[in-house]
Structure 1
Amino acid sequence: MLKNTMFGGGANVTSISANDNLVIKGNNLIALHSLKKRYAGKIKMIFIDPPYNTGADSFEYNDSFSRSAWLTFIKNRIEIANELLSEEGVLLVQISFHEYPYLRILLDTILNSGSGKHIFDMNVLVRHPERALTADKPFNDVMEYTLIYSKSLSYEMPKQIIEKTADKYVYKVTVGEKPNEVRQLGGKKVEVYLPENIHIEKVEPSKNNLHRETVRGSIREKNSSGRYYVANLEPLIGEYPPLTLFKVPGIGDDVLDYRYFELPKEGNKNGAYYQGMPQSSNVTKKPYPNFIDFVKSYNSANREGVYSFRNGKKPEALLAKYIEIFTKKNDIVLDFFMGSATTQAVAMKMNRQFIGIEQMDYINTVSVPRLQKVMEGEQGGISKDVNWQGGGSFVYAELMEKNQGYLNDLQKADTIPELMSVYERMKENADIDFRLDLAEFEKEIGQFTNLDERRRELIRILDKNQLYYNYANIDDDNVRDLLSESDYHFNKSFYGGDGE
């Protein structure tokens, strides 16, 4: 169940629309299940940057799980997150080398076993190879990895759309009035021009000129002109002088109705062909490489978004890259390890709808304030690139705590008297393990003089199935009394009047 809390001057709302951006504070596993009824099959892109499990314990999240505990932690969240993806949706998980191979196997097991598939892993250069952060490391760790999966087996990876320019069209080819020879080659009537009957000059770029392409590598097999050359003209090397031209009709998609092919010059083995600018489209589609250099962006990431978030903030340019590749305007983007809200800030600036989930208290000092600055028109990150002028809105809600509140207080207590004060409150309202004999427990708890040992025992007796209030109980008298009218109607709107 959710509480629609006023934040930073915002107003409580009594409903949520299909187009509202949403930020939720609370346990992300429970929050993901809360999203299922409303958003299942609707999310276009999920990007997460979970704890890397480095052993450094550099985040408020436990960053030093055992490997099995970390993998279980991830597995539980990925399984429900996958249900939220649309059929054309994609899941991206950023990770370091510490757990990369194990995460890849886990995600393959979860996502490839159904209808989804692994698309590729993006290798991200995040630090300069010559810049070591500390000299006592066994090697200089400069790469991170984004594992990318689709919801559907039929998903086709988008390609780069590159506008065609005339930059490489710099050749003019002039041949004599009559060919030196005409012959049939590959079912085509081909004119042959010997070198003394040819004039080729390099000029200023123009869409009316030709581009020279060498026939080598994949062009020999995957390009129709390359295949024609290999099959019909390459065998003629030695029969004709080097640089002989062959004018072949009915090939290519440029303004010409022919293409010039050239035998290699003396000492070279690769021939070439001259083509005009293609006419079928004003853009070229190219596959994305599986490597990107974001060193410069990472170096300045902590200065983005006004609020500092050392060692955990992704650059806006990186998220913009992924959002541009995998989504369109108004698509929904989800990040349930929200952190400093980079994903949400970029989504807002790029006119995508977003959902963010974060359980740590810095959501109130970093994440949400950053989004408020974005709405005011802050000019960091990608703002100038996308001409961001401000605007937008989001709904902020918190999972309604039950035992979670006591758990938080136990974890924050610095002394045994503070712990026992929390315990006294727990006896009044918390859900405690029903099998527990309180009288016996209180005899035993006094024997623990170590703060952490006593904390562990008090946490143990809390019912972990009752960390938050369940929407199914919203109309129970003891729950209804805890809710304001606006919260009651907000939950009815969010869950559609029917909870899980």
Structure 2
Amino acid sequence: MSRAEQSRAEQSRAEQSRAEQSRAEVDNGIVSFDKEKDNLIIKGNNLLALHTISHIFSGQVKLIYIDPPYNTGNDGFTYNDKFNHSSWLTFIKNRLEIAKKFLSDEGIIIVQCDDNEQAYLKVLMDDVFGVQNFQGTIVNIVKTEGRRYGSIAKTHEYALVYSLNFEKAKMYEMEIQGKSFQYFDLNGGFDIKDLRNQNTVAFNSTNRPNLRYPFYVNVNDVDENGFMKPKVNSFEGSTEVWATTVEGRESVWRWGREKAERQSDDLVARQSNDGLIRVYVKRRTSTTMPKSFWNETNFLSITGTRELDKLFNKKIFTFPKPEGYLKRIIDIASEPGDLVLDFFMGSATTQAVAMKMHRRFIGIEQMDYTNTVSIPRLQKVMDGEQGGISKDVNWQGGGSFIYVELMPKNMGYLQDIIQAKDLNELKAVYTRMLTGTDTNDPADISFRADLDKIDWSQGFEDNKRLLVKLLDKNGLYYNYSEIDDENVRHLLSDEDYYFNKSFYEGEG
């Protein structure tokens, strides 16, 4: 971090104190940072911000969720989203490669997209994370009537789900609302699931011979539900039961013989209408595996828009994700206390939901609405606002975050160039770039730049493009390594200086 904006940090601390959940220490106006406890919001270029904090949070993040620009040309984001495919993929690839370093061994990354880039993004993520770590694609209905352009009304978006390590990855089942069980025994309610492995291509007697063995049942000993007790050892008068043969392939069980014998009370057998006896496992859970198709009213785009409009009493952001949708994402990929990262923070839906669900979070955003939408939203969450998922999770307020900004160097000049409206404004920016201001040093000019090429007679657009090329893109922000340089130190308050020391080196 090149600069911490102390007033924002203090503001979040004040809110936190009212919630009686103080986590960070404030000593003589200097905010310290505890990476094990504190939530973090960074304003600045997300690629540079990720590199800035990667050594601090490497291997620490359980869930990364991002909703990047879709390369449609009309996203609600103020990013340069009119990329061609290759430029967009490079833009995303650079960020995914550094983001990968943040994931824990059990970590999951979920990337939102639509038809514009889904196919390209899938191939890219196969390359970055490994095709073997692909967990699945979630299709979410966002507009029931469809988007009315083109020949087919598009109703859905995609979320591509990958893990750092498929074998170690942890995802979680969803609670089934109003769940009731079909059967009961002395241990309570249960449902049944076929013990036979349904995937006979991948699992059969040829490649899993240890899972191919018989059970034995007494067909004359049947309870009120038609269940028999299966045993792995034969007994007098028993009938042998094998996993069925499907298309010439001999099925196998999902349990080995030893487990079946050890947990025989969790098994039942029953004769089906076709005359075959099948073995089932008792399922006592009130959860279910998340499916790949989501179609719920509170996941629609209009729901997210209404939630934010109501929170601010006006239309303030286009197409924010609904809190219910993020709750589902966070539910299936993390547990309370886990760290969640979203480096396309937008209106801070991810961070708001993470706070309400007692996850830690990191949010990164470069746009100015960070201070008009994102931060005020989180402050409302800390005050206990009751929109979105608040009632579902009994949210009463609390929490905290630390807000920091990357300290702009050339970035300030770049933004001035982009926002210039005529040639006179552009000339004024150029003058500031060469001479500096009371609060900013002169711009770092690219060593490839040729100042002699400036010709104001060429007009506004040509010179605007040329000024952008003049700036050294490696100097958009100040680096921490420059913090003790004389020409940088005087730009920092003592509070910002010592926060940086605490953040990077643990110095208080």
Q: TM-score range by the shorter chain?
A: 0.7 to 0.9
Q: 1:328 Cα deviation (Å)?
A: 1.2
Asked if structure 2 preserves the Cα contact closer than 8 Å seen for 1:329 and 1:352, the reply is yes
Asked if structure 1 preserves the Cα contact closer than 8 Å seen for 2:241 and 2:277, the reply is no
Which is further off, 34-43 or 146-155? Answer: 146-155
Q: 1:424 Cα deviation (Å)?
A: 0.6
Aligned to 1:169: 183
Amino acid at match of 2:373: V
Asked if structure 2 preserves the Cα contact closer than 8 Å seen for 1:375 and 1:390, the reply is yes
Q: 1:160 Cα deviation (Å)?
A: 2.0
SS of the residue corresponding to residue 386 of structure 1 reads coil
SS of the residue corresponding to residue 3 of structure 1 reads coil
Distance 1:212 1:145, change over 3 A: farther
Q: 1:452 Cα deviation (Å)?
A: 1.9
SS of the residue corresponding to residue 357 of structure 1 reads strand
Aligned to 1:453: 462
Q: 1:317 Cα deviation (Å)?
A: 1.0
Amino acid at match of 1:445: D
Please provide the CA RMSD for this pair.
3.2
Q: Which runs of 5+ in 1 are unaligned?
A: 172-185, 201-208, 214-225, 233-249
Asked if structure 2 preserves the Cα contact closer than 8 Å seen for 1:2 and 1:399, the reply is yes
Aligned to 1:109: 127
Asked if structure 2 preserves the Cα contact closer than 8 Å seen for 1:335 and 1:343, the reply is yes
Residue of structure 1 aligned with 2:330, choices 307, 313, 323: 323
TM-score of the two chains, using structure 1 as the length reference: 0.77
Amino acid at match of 1:479: V
Residue of structure 2 aligned with 1:261, choices 261, 270, 273: 270
Residue of structure 1 aligned with 2:306, choices 284, 303, 308: 303
Q: How does 1:318-467 map to 2 (within 5 A)?
A: 318-428=325-435, 429-438=442-451, 440-441=452-453, 444-449=454-459, 451-467=460-476
Q: How does 1:29-108 map to 2 (within 5 A)?
A: 29-56=47-74, 58-108=76-126
Asked if structure 1 preserves the Cα contact closer than 8 Å seen for 2:172 and 2:333, the reply is no
Q: 1:63 Cα deviation (Å)?
A: 1.7
Q: 1:447 Cα deviation (Å)?
A: 2.2
SS of the residue corresponding to residue 93 of structure 1 reads strand
Q: 1:190 Cα deviation (Å)?
A: 2.7
- Once residues 70 and 339 of structure 1 are traced to their aligned partners in structure 2, the CA distance between those partners, rounded to angstroms, is 18
SS of the residue corresponding to residue 76 of structure 1 reads helix
CA shift digits 1:455-483 (9 cap, x unpaired)? 11111111111100011111111011111
Q: 1:137 Cα deviation (Å)?
A: 2.4
Aligned to 2:232: none
SS of the residue corresponding to residue 355 of structure 1 reads strand
For the pair 1:16 / 2:33, whether they are aligned, the reply is yes
Distance 1:378 1:490, change over 3 A: same
Which is further off, 50-59 or 477-486? Answer: 50-59
Residue of structure 2 aligned with 1:118, choices 128, 134, 154: 134
CA shift digits 1:203-260 (9 cap, x unpaired)? xxxxxx63779xxxxxxxxxxxx9926669xxxxxxxxxxxxxxxxx898448xx956
- Once residues 36 and 170 of structure 1 are traced to their aligned partners in structure 2, the CA distance between those partners, rounded to angstroms, is 51
CA shift digits 1:316-375 (9 cap, x unpaired)? 111111111111111110000000000000000000110000000111111111000000
Distance 1:253 1:482, change over 3 A: same
For the pair 1:487 / 2:500, whether they are aligned, the reply is no
Amino acid at match of 1:465: N
Amino acid at match of 1:143: H
Q: 1:162 Cα deviation (Å)?
A: 5.6
Q: How does 1:175-324 map to 2 (within 5 A)?
A: 188=216, 190-192=218-220, 210=225, 228=241, 253-254=264-265, 261-262=270-271, 264=273, 269=274, 278=282, 282-283=284-285, 286-298=288-300, 299-305=302-308, 306-307=311-312, 308-324=315-331
Amino acid at match of 1:412: Q
Distance 1:407 1:384, change over 3 A: same
CA shift digits 1:32-59 (9 cap, x unpaired)? 0011121111111110000000132542
Aligned to 1:154: 167
SS of the residue corresponding to residue 60 of structure 1 reads coil
Aligned to 1:205: none
Asked if structure 1 preserves the Cα contact closer than 8 Å seen for 2:31 and 2:499, the reply is yes
Q: 1:170 Cα deviation (Å)?
A: 8.3
CA shift digits 1:115-172 (9 cap, x unpaired)? x7111111111121xx1443x422111111111111114224535266897641289x
Which is further off, 9-18 or 471-480? Answer: 9-18
Amino acid at match of 1:40: S
Distance 1:161 1:421, change over 3 A: closer
Distance 1:471 1:274, change over 3 A: closer
Amino acid at match of 1:158: M
SS of the residue corresponding to residue 362 of structure 2 reads strand
Q: 1:14 Cα deviation (Å)?
A: 3.3
Amino acid at match of 1:262: Q
Asked if structure 1 preserves the Cα contact closer than 8 Å seen for 2:217 and 2:240, the reply is no
TM-score of the two chains, using structure 2 as the length reference: 0.76
Asked if structure 1 preserves the Cα contact closer than 8 Å seen for 2:135 and 2:166, the reply is no
Amino acid at match of 1:3: R
Asked if structure 1 preserves the Cα contact closer than 8 Å seen for 2:171 and 2:332, the reply is yes
- Once residues 240 and 74 of structure 2 are traced to their aligned partners in structure 1, the CA distance between those partners, rounded to angstroms, is 55
SS of the residue corresponding to residue 261 of structure 1 reads strand
Aligned to 1:4: 4
Amino acid at match of 2:143: R
- Once residues 480 and 158 of structure 2 are traced to their aligned partners in structure 1, the CA distance between those partners, rounded to angstroms, is 38
- Once residues 161 and 446 of structure 1 are traced to their aligned partners in structure 2, the CA distance between those partners, rounded to angstroms, is 62
Q: Which runs of 5+ in 2 are unaligned?
A: 14-28, 186-213, 229-238, 246-260, 436-441
SS of the residue corresponding to residue 447 of structure 1 reads helix
Q: How many residues align?
A: 426
Distance 1:254 1:309, change over 3 A: farther
Distance 1:408 1:284, change over 3 A: same
Asked if structure 2 preserves the Cα contact closer than 8 Å seen for 1:169 and 1:211, the reply is no
- Once residues 66 and 483 of structure 1 are traced to their aligned partners in structure 2, the CA distance between those partners, rounded to angstroms, is 40
Amino acid at match of 2:135: I
Distance 1:289 1:297, change over 3 A: closer
Amino acid at match of 1:15: S
Aligned to 2:486: 477
Asked if structure 2 preserves the Cα contact closer than 8 Å seen for 1:22 and 1:395, the reply is yes
Distance 1:445 1:315, change over 3 A: same
Q: 1:294 Cα deviation (Å)?
A: 3.4
Distance 1:263 1:481, change over 3 A: closer
Asked if structure 1 preserves the Cα contact closer than 8 Å seen for 2:227 and 2:269, the reply is no
Question: Percent of aligned positions with the same letter in both sequences?
Answer: 43
